[in-house]
Structure formats: C-alpha cells, structure tokens
Amino acid sequence: MSDTPILSDAQVAEVVTAIDGWITAWSDEGSFLVHAERQPVTDGTATWQWYLRFAGEEKDAITVWATLNQRTLHTEVQVMPAPEENAEAVLAYLMTENAQLYGMAYCIGPEGAIYLVGRTAAGQITDAVLDRIFGTAVVAVDSVFPSAMTLAFPGQYRRRTRRARTAEPQG
C-alpha cells in the first residue's frame, strides 16, 4: 500500500488550481513556456492532463505531459525516437545520466522511444515543486539530446549551432 493518500475532490481542485496558476505565471511573452493546454481524462484512469510545450535550445520543442492521478502527478517527455544505430551506447549514456537527476529518469517506452519520466506525490505540489519538475524536464532533455541523437542517428543528426553564422566577406 502506498504512503501517498488518495486525493479528495477538494484536494484535486487545489492541485489543478496550483498547476493552472503556475502555467499562468509562466505564460508571459518571452517565457520558455510556449504553450499549455489542460484536458480532462475521460477514461477514468486519471483526472486531468496537461500538455506543456517549452522552447529548447538543442531540441526545438520539449513537450511535457503531466497527468494528475489519484495519488501522484506523473510527468513524461519523449526525448527521442527509438535509436536506429548504437542502441546499447545510447542506453548506456542515458542510464549514466540518470545519476544526475532528481525525481525523474530516462527509460524506454513500449515502442522503443526514449522518455524522461517522473512521479511526485500530488499532495506536495507547490510552485517550487512545479519549477523543479518542469525545469528538470527541460534541462535534462536539452542536455542529453544532441549526444544521444548523434549516437543514435549518426548519418542524419547534426548538432545545432549556438550562434547564427554570417557569411565571410568575399574578396
């Protein structure tokens, strides 16, 4: 039996309000939060689900799915598709990177894609906890993306240049 209690309807409403408030606070123009959407979960497996799209530096968009279950807020990000090459090296790299994470871990999805997942007791959701969850997701994905993609797709992936290059003057 879990030590995390099932949320009452009032507690669910508090968590929803906290998450919606966090989104509103970060939705200012120029924020790294580009888009957010909340949807009810109608199949009875959870109560609400949010899709939060953040701007990445290495990966164009980092979309975090946050699902409020009976006891926990489950978060999930697809880091990359299933590796086409060097799968063992990609997995070894990501498993090593797991040691740097708090409350989240890289894992393999059912279709072989690489995900970053986490779970937090829903009753502990505050602005500071949401900052940690979503900040960790964005930083963790952006930090491993170029190396993992280079290993997994060596003939296709090219790391983004950080500065716009200008043409050299001719002559």
Phi, psi angles (nearest 5°) of residue 155: -90, -5
pLDDT tens for the chain, 171 residues long, are 468 899 999 999 999 999 999 999 998 777 889 999 999 999 988 899 999 999 999 999 999 999 999 999 999 999 999 999 999 999 999 999 999 999 999 999 999 999 999 999 999 999 999 999 999 999 999 999 999 999 999 988 877 665 443 444 444
Single out the residue of 135, 125, 137, 20 nearest to residue 75, CA to CA. 137
42 inside domain: yes
Q: Is residue 18 part of a domain?
A: yes
Residue-by-residue DSSP string for the chain = --SSPPPPHHHHHHHHHHHHHHHHHH-STT-SEEEEEEEE--SSS-SEEEEEEEE-SSSSEEEEEEEE-SSEEEEEEEEEPPPSS-HHHHHHHHHHHGGG-SSEEEEE-TTS-EEEEEEEEGGG--HHHHHHHHHHHHHHHHHHHHHHHHHH-TTT--PPPSS---PPPP-
Q: Does residue 54 fall inside a structural domain?
A: yes
**Assigned domain for 97 exists:** yes
* Within-domain flag for 93: yes
pTM comes to 0.88
Residue 4: phi and psi, rounded to 5, are: -90, 120
- Total domains in the chain come to 1
Query: By residue range, what is the domain housing residue 119?
Result: 9-152
Integer Cα distance of 145 and 158 in angstroms: 11
CATH number at residue 16: 3.30.1460.10
Task: Measure Cα distances from 107 to 22, 41, 116, 119 in Å.
Answer: 27, 24, 6, 13
